[in-house]
Amino acid sequence: MAEVEETLKQLQSQKGVQGIMVVDTEGIPINSTVDNPTTEQHATLMHNFILKAQSTVREVTFLRIHSKKNEVMVAPDEDYFLIAIQNPAEQAILLDPRHSLI
């Protein structure tokens, strides 16, 4: 578990990162670097969004949603989803599969 905490801290320390969340496949938050209301909101929304995406696309390995305010990235796995929120103006590159931070 210490390794997970260290990885979350490393991701959180990247420029522009506003929060990191780990959510189980039921949409229940396991770990988060942001407050509970924000965690619950993003966990529920992203869980539902990933399920819809997975029903349309055969295999979802990475999802990035970009808006004016922020960018949400989701890396779904068999047992959990890793969700990162970042400020797109600061150009942080976190969960992008082309980079190897995790």
CB-based contacts of 29, cutoff 8 Å, min separation 6? 21, 22, 23, 39, 40, 43
Overall number of domains in the chain: 1
**Identity of the amino acid at 40:** E
Residue 21: which CATH number? 3.30.450.30
Who wins on pLDDT, 91 or 37? 37
**Identity of the amino acid at 17:** V
pLDDT of residue 86: 92
- The model's pLDDT over 45-101, given as tens digits with 9 standing for 90+, comes to 999 999 899 889 888 899 999 988 899 999 998 899 999 999 877 754 555 555 554
pLDDT of residue 1: 66
Residue 82's domain comprises 17-90
